[in-house]
Amino acid sequence: MTTAIPKAGTFSERAATTRHYLMCRPDFFAVTYAINPWMDPAKGADAATAVRQWEGLVAAYERLGHKVSLIDPVDGLPDMVFAANGALVVDGKVYGARFAYPERAAEGPAYLSWFEGYETREAAFTNEGEGDFLTLEEFILAGTGFRTDRAAHLEAQEFLGRPVVTLQLVDPRFYHLDTALFPLDGRNVAYYPGAFSEGSRRVLARLFPDAVLATEADAEVLGLNAVSDGKNIVINAEAVALREQLTRQGYEVVPVDLTELRKAGGGPKCCTLEIRERSERINKHGALAAEATEPLGEEASTV
C-alpha cells in the first residue's frame, strides 16, 4: 500500500511554526580541497565574508522567532559550518552522520558529541545527515546517488521509526537532496525535476501533485537549499524566479546573501540543522521539547 499524503494547505492556512536550529560559525571556513563541483581551491574563499553572511542568516532566523543554538567550530574542519550534514534529529532521537570523504570525517563525531543526553545512534553506513534526509509530517525523504548509501535509509528508518522514501539523485551539481528539494510546510515540497532519476520524478509527482517546481537557473544558485517554517522561507537572494513563485503561493520570502559559502556548495539549509524534540523533554541545552508527530504504521510504503 502507498502512503496517503494530506493535501497542501491553502494560502490562508499557511502558518509559521517556531523551530530550533543548530548552527556553526564559519570561523575556519575555507576552500582548500574539492569534493563537489562547486569547490575550486584555486579561487579559495574569504572566512571574514563568510562569517558576515552567516551572521545575516542567524539574524534572519532570530527575527522570525526561531531559536538558534551553536556548536563550536573546529580548526581544520572548514566545512563544519554546514551543520545540516552533521546529523538527523527526529522526535528527540539523533541519527549520526558518517561522511563520504575523509576531509569531513571528523565532523560526524563532533556533532554527535554535542547531542550528549539525547538518544543517539552512530551510523554504520555512509550518510550526510539532513543533507540527504528531509523530514515531513508523515515520512522522511532520503537522497542517494552521491553521498548517502541506500543502506543508511533503512538504518535511519529502523532507528527513528519513520517511513523513509528513497530518491535517486543523478546530477553531480546537486549532490545532496537538500540542494534539489526543500519541504514547504510538512506536507508539500519545492524541487528541481532535473536533479532526479525518471523513477524518482514519478514518485515525487505522485506524492506531491501540488509541488512548486523550480527552474534549472534557480537550482544553479542553490535556490532550493532553502529553509521554511511553514510560512516564511529563507532563501538565496539570487533565486529570483523561485522567490516570485513562492510569493504567489502565499509564502513570505526572506532573501539572504550566502554567496561566499556557496563557493563550497552551501546555502541556508546547509548551514542549518533542525532539532526536532520529543514532547515533554528538556535536553542539556535547555530546549523545551515540542509535540512529536506519531510515525505511520507498518502498512506505509517505505524503503
CATH number at residue 144: 3.75.10.10
Query: Count of alpha carbons within 13 Å of 120, Cβ hemisphere only?
Result: 20
Phi-psi label, residue 265: left if phi above 0, alpha if psi -120 to 50, beta otherwise: left
pLDDT in tens, 255-295: 999 999 999 999 999 999 999 998 534 344 444 433 333 32
Residue 291 lies in a domain: no
pLDDT 10s digits, 32-55: 999 999 999 999 999 999 999 999
Sequence-distant (6+) residues with CB within 8 A of 93 are 118, 119, 120, 121, 159, 160, 278
The answer to whether residue 33 is domain-embedded is yes
Mean of the pLDDT values across residues 211-227?
98
Cα 208 to Cα 216: distance, rounded to the nearest angstrom: 19
Each residue's pLDDT tens digit, 113-131:
999 999 999 999 999 999 9
Residue 80 lies in a domain: yes
pLDDT of residue 13: 77
> Catalytic annotation on 176?
yes
Instruction: Look up 270 and say whether it is catalytic.
Output: yes
Full residue range of the structural domain in which residue 28 is found = 17-274
What's the number of domains the chain is made of? Answer: 1
**DSSP per-residue letters across 265-301:** T--TTTT-EE--PPTT-B-TT-PBPPPPPPPP-TTS-
292 located within any domain: no
Of the two residues 61 and 11, the one the predictor is more confident about is 61
Contacts of 142 (CB under 8 A, 6+ apart): 132, 133, 134, 148, 152, 153, 156, 164, 165, 166, 167, 177, 303
Contact 156, 88 (CB under 8 A): yes
Integer Cα distance of 9 and 16 in angstroms: 12
**Contact in structure between 169 and 146 (CB atoms under 8 Å):** yes
Active-site hit among 20, 66, 270, 271:
270
What is the dihedral sign for C-alpha 215, 233, 153, 39? positive
Does any domain span residue 12? no
Query: Is 9 inside a domain boundary?
Result: no
> Average per-residue pLDDT in the chain?
91
Strand-pair category, 93-96 with 87-90: antiparallel
Q: Pick the catalytic residue: 20, 66, 153, 176?
A: 176
Residue 121 lies in a domain: yes
| Residue 12 pLDDT level (bands cut at 50, 70, 90) | low
SS3 of residue 39 by DSSP = coil
Question: Which pLDDT belongs to residue 269?
Answer: 98
- Integer Cα distance of 296 and 280 in angstroms: 21
Q: Indicate whether 300 pLDDT > 90.
A: no
pLDDT, tens digit (0-9, with 9 covering 90-100), for 134-192 = 999 999 999 999 999 999 999 999 999 999 999 999 999 999 999 999 999 999 999 99
Residue 78 included in any domain: yes
pLDDT of 5 higher than 60 = no
